[in-house]
Chain A
Amino acid sequence: MTVWQPKTGEQVTNIVLSALAERRKLSVSGHETKAGLGHPVDAKESLSLTNLSGIVDYQPEELVLVVKAGTPLDEIEKTLSEKNQMLAFEPPHLERFYGTEGTGTIGGLVATNLSGPRRVSAGAARDFLLGFAAVSGRGDVFKSGSRVMKNVTGYDLSKLMCGSFGTLAVMTEITLKVLPCPETSSSLSLLCDTIDSAQLALANAFCSDTEPSGGAISRANEGWQAVIRLEGVDVSVRDRMTKLKSTLQSARTSKVLDKQASEAFWENWRDISMISDDAEQVYRLSVTPSDAPKIASSLLKAYDLELGFDWMGGLIWIGGKGAGLGQKVRQTIKDFNGHATLMRGTEGHRRDVGVFQPQAAPLAALARRIKNAFDPEDILNSGKMGTIGRGA
């Protein structure tokens, strides 16, 4: 396979233009740490952004970071932490999960719109992308957004770019909003008898004025463990923890995790520690939080599963095996409302159950028209989002 490794935006344009002229398809990638996510791409050539790397501009007091698309995530996180700032959407590090090396590039992260536990309070990757520059599948250089926090000038193409898996355009430069790190954090861990009672504890925590920034449910030896994170100024975290404990005092046993223990728990949870390397198929279910116990029970009745909840119950991670598991997940999500993504699976699984939840026909048709508006010849990451992302 030919791998193009442009060093400048201009070179990216030339590669796309020459591919377009000969209708050659390109697989657009960074470090390929998340190559297991999405459908296999139909392309004989690869456009790798790894050499388009580096921090273009970082202004801590403006809360703005401008980077080239191939900049490694760990380099960005290191730079930010030196100024006590962070990517507040808590991007997961998926190298263990996918058995790959390195943290991947910022471009890959934005393209997959993956967000960690703090999604529930701070927002998703899509909420922090202020702007970008890109080359469309037409070979046109274009930009959208800006470097300021508040901007409604023109369509918000940043939202489309987030989660488009490189099927619309090749991002060359990315502008992100960054935030100060919280001074400290602490978590309350509660042992509950059932998923229902654990989810209820999370709902009560999030409805209280204790401002949680994470809510997870994990399997415990005898029952389920609900974990709620508080972050902020030290005196405030202590104060809110006291309040949280009294709000949730009906739980069987509870324990407070100090800063170190809390950070360790959430880092693991962010990186999908609830799922082992053995799980053959892994699904990520984004659902209405209060539906989570019903959805989980329904799946657990039929399959032996590894399972964990994030986002106050609104995100369910499921690992398991079995021929019918995919269809069962798809049907369950259809019965409720939400979205299931096949995060890990063989090519066969990905083909048979699809990576993404099927869309209603008019919406799928609209998605095809949008793809067509950016990449009419379907040369960028063709098939990555399944038939739904493919040009008409």
Chain B
Amino acid sequence: MLLPEPDQTILCRRDEIISALKRFVPAGAVIDDDTTMAAYDSDGLSAYRNQPLVVVLPETTQQVAAVMKWCLDNDVKIVPRGAGTSLSGGAIPLADGVLLGLGKFNQILDIDFSNRTVTAQPGVTNLGITQAVQDEGFYYAPDPSSQIACSIGGNIAENSGGVHCLKYGLTTNNVLGIEMVTMNGEILRLGGKHLDSGHLDVLGVMTGSEGLLGVVTEVTVRILRKPATQRALLVGFDTVQEGGQAVSDVIAAGIIPAGMEMMDNPAINAAEDFVNAGYPREAAALLIIELDGPEAEVDVLINKVSKIVKTSGASSIRISQSEEERNQFWAGRKSAFPAVGRISPDYLCMDGTIPRKALPEMLTRMSAMSQKFGLRVANVFHAGDGNLHPLILFDANADGELHRAEEFGAEILRTCVKLGGVLTGEHGVGVEKRDLMTEMFTEDDLKQQQRLKCAFDPQHLLNPGKVFPVLHRCAELGRLHVHQGKLPHPDIPRF
């Protein structure tokens, strides 16, 4: 995985760039010593490190705008960064780029219960929003597993999901407004506390744009009333086929659970070894199905789901009778990543999505790949929406294993696309899946996406080297190739 070659002229201008940046931000907000900068040299894709040219930590939107405008005028690249938890390398620094950290934007600005909104600065953590409103019985629905650390601004950049997005949607479905700064230093306000602003939905396309289109400096999200009751079923299956069938059967019965998670046998055992959640070790697949809402409704649905999964072939069913038991069901799933970390020196966490019905097929193919590459794999899925998280186990110190693990991961993602799915369900493309984009998109698809980029950042200065395998110059992308008179005259009904 290669980042663009650093521009030597920029590296030579480092001192000049540093002193220029110091004019725009308070003392101490420019970090240029190697030791302190080391904290920023990586993100959640920790196999890759790169030292930034310099780190800037602005405190106000105006400072962000001034820094960006100066960088545009001086042809200097910028990599925006929230909490640095990206699993796809979205915040990996560039040696010739300014790392723009939003960590000092850490205030909640407004809590409005009557309109059910929270307005926060982008550095506030995802969980911080819920914590600010939970005493009044509210919460912010998207719950990525990094929610304790990841920032809401980063959530906008990555369009983060989580366990509960099956019922409550991804970030994009829960954001009402943002303030953002474009590469030319303009401050834009999109949306607000109202819905559907009319005009082109710039807010919608900013969400999930991986820091390539603008820097978010304020966020307004919708909060929800906490459901009255939450209960879960823990269902074991002798075969993954039956488990996959159960997922389809529940949805086909018109039930949208709050969460529907699946683990395969290696993941079940790793989790069981780690937290003793009481999972059936012999099961080939385990489903956690959570239902939430008014008590009467949850009781009815628990019974319905219980009958459905029995018909689909469940070998064991437990239904949570208390909050304690429900949390115990989740304990294994929530600690699946560290649990796998215990049984292997390193692991790669993949993130493809497939149509739900392709789950069994995917698992069969994955076992074959595991054989082929000689690496173990443990699977946890957001099964309800077909989002896979295969964990490929490897040892970075063993010669060639990282490379083999990456090859394995790439083959999994290619298979996802072949089965009608996509490369990434919630982690983003970043640098990790950048070179696989052509598996899913044609050249014209990618060029159209890059033309959109050109509308925001024609010099490709904002987070370059991420998402797109090939960077086309905007002038080249804008050129029209029209062959006048040579077109076949379309033989089409008209009147």
State the A residues within 8 Å of B (CB).
2-7, 11, 14-15, 17-18, 20-22, 51, 59-64, 84-85, 113, 115, 119-120, 123-124, 126-127, 136, 138-144, 146-160, 162-164, 168, 179-181, 183, 203, 206-211, 232-233, 235-236, 238-240, 243, 286-290, 311, 314-315, 337-339, 341, 356-357, 359-360, 362-363, 366-367, 369-374, 376-377, 385, 388-389
Contacts and interface: CB of A to CB of B under 8 A. Distances in A.
A207 B115 CA distance: 9
Closest 6 CB pairs of A and B: A159-B204, A236-B297, A180-B254, A14-B490, A369-B455, A61-B252
B493 A138 contact: no
Nearest to A200: B114
B492 A4 contact: yes
Nearest to B227: A209
B178 to A, nearest CB: 12
Given A21-B484, A62-B356, A149 B385 contact: yes
A16 B218 CA distance: 40
A286 B248 CA distance: 38
Contacts of A183: 254
Interface string B194-206: 1111111111110
Please indicate which of the listed interface residues B115, B357, B444, B467 has the most CB atoms of chain A within 10 Å of its own CB. Answer: B115
Nearest to A288: B193
Contacts of B387: 149-150
A64 B357 CA distance: 12
A341 B452 CA distance: 26
B168 to A, nearest CB: 10
A163 B201 contact: yes
B251 A61 contact: yes
B255 A180 contact: yes
Given A146-B422, A233-B301, A287-B194, A181 B294 contact: no
Interface of B: 112-116, 137, 158-159, 161, 165-166, 169-170, 172-173, 182, 186-190, 192-205, 207-209, 213, 225-228, 248-249, 251-252, 254-256, 293-297, 300-301, 353-357, 382, 385-387, 420-429, 433, 437, 440-442, 444-449, 451-456, 467, 478, 480, 482-485, 487-490, 492-495
A142 B166 CA distance: 28
Given A138-B480, A154-B445, 19 more contacts: A2-B494, A7-B493, A17-B482, A51-B493, A126-B196, A126-B204, A140-B444, A152-B170, A163-B201, A209-B137, A233-B296, A233-B297, A233-B300, A235-B300, A236-B297, A286-B196, A314-B195, A360-B188, A370-B202
A138 B193 CA distance: 36
A151 B114 contact: no
Contacts of A286: 194-198
B115 A21 contact: no
Contacts of A143: 441-442, 445
Nearest to A137: B480
B254 to A, nearest CB: 3
Contacts of B208: 152, 155-156
A28 to B, nearest CB: 15
A146 B453 CA distance: 20
A21 B425 contact: no
Contacts of B386: 148-150
Nearest to A125: B196
Q: For chain B, what secondary structure do more than half of its interface residues adopt (helix, strand, loop), or is it mixed?
A: loop
Nearest to A368: B455
A150 B423 contact: no
Contacts of B467: 154
A381 to B, nearest CB: 13
Contacts of A120: 195
B212 to A, nearest CB: 8
Contacts of B447: 140, 142
16 contacts: A14-B487, A20-B480, A61-B357, A62-B251, A123-B169, A124-B196, A142-B448, A146-B422, A151-B353, A152-B428, A159-B172, A233-B300, A239-B295, A290-B112, A339-B196, A367-B199
B488 A14 contact: yes
B385 A150 contact: yes
Given A288-B192, A289-B115, A154 B199 contact: no
Contact of A163 (B199, B255, B429): B199
A160 B414 CA distance: 27
A154 B300 CA distance: 40
A338 to B, nearest CB: 5
